Amino acid sequence: MKRERLDKVLANMGKGTRKEVKALVKARLVTVDGKLATDPGMHVIPEQQEIIVDGEPLDFKRFIYIMMNKPQGVISATEDNMHETVVDLLPEEWFHYKVFPVGRLDIDTEGLLLLTNDGHLSHSLLSPKKKVDKEYFARIEGRVTQEHIDQFAKGVELEDFTTLPARLEILSQGETSEIRVTIMEGKFHQVKRMFAAFGLKVVYLQRLRMGSLHLDESLELGDYRELTEQELDALRNRAGDDE
């Protein structure tokens, strides 16, 4: 485990700017393993040592993993000049983690979005080599038929690439159809483009699952929570470390 400067650890954990946390130490408000810290530059192992700031134990975490039920109207990005972003929906006390969304959902797509500051896990989950599958529910303007199921199973030819085989399931069929679809890539507008290839329009799209991670249906739109240990372990196993 890494030894780091105390002031850096405190600043990274959102306790203030470097200058402010130095002042906290100078004001004799910080202890490390029960001893008063006098040097802001002292080295600590934050995972192992008990750091108390102004009476409050520091809940040190290097990485954070957040599941969000993304609502429509917000952008899957960390910054945007026009629209609210998914990061804007998070509480201020998490801002210091500097999370980003793992992959993107369109502005009008709802559902499962993972946010983290763990670049390694994010990279693995998005790597085309890993073929992490994604499952969506969609409402389609038009009649989805067995023929579409067969075509999706073969892979759909788009302008710039042919998709890997996708699993399409019809939940209801009519002037509008409701379907579930599982795809192996995550290309720009992929689900919409796959249906558009057959003259069909996606009018509602919701992501239900990414690899082993299922949308927690008890989360209201716009709500979020940290992943459980089990969810995180399963994701890590799926993403693997064997790049």
Q: Residues interacting with ligand URA, by CB under 6 A?
A: 105-106, 109, 189-192, 205
Q: What does the H/E/C string look like for the chain?
A: CCCEEHHHHHHHCCCCCHHHHHHHHHCCCEEECCEECCCCCCEECCCCCCEEECCEECCCCCCCEEEEEECCCCECCCCCCCCCEHHHHCCHHHHHHCCEECCCCCCCEEEEEEEECCHHHHHHHHCHHHCCCEEEEEEEECCCCHHHHHHHHHCCECCCCECCCCEEEEEECCCEEEEEEEECCCCCCHHHHHHHCCCCEEEEEEEEEECCEECCCCCCCCCEEECCHHHHHHHHHHHCCCC
- Minimum CB distance to ligand URA, residue 216 (Å): 19
Instruction: Pick between residue 109 and residue 122 the one whose CB is nearest to ligand URA.
Output: 109
- Minimum CB distance to ligand URA, residue 48 (Å): 41
- Minimum CB distance to ligand URA, residue 235 (Å): 19
Instruction: Pick between residue 30 and residue 202 the one whose CB is nearest to ligand URA.
Output: 202
- Minimum CB distance to ligand URA, residue 7 (Å): 41
Active-site annotation holder among 106, 118, 133, 150: 106
106 in active site: yes
Instruction: Pick between residue 34 and residue 188 the one whose CB is nearest to ligand URA.
Output: 188
Instruction: Pick between residue 25 and residue 168 the one whose CB is nearest to ligand URA.
Output: 168
Annotated catalytic residues are 106
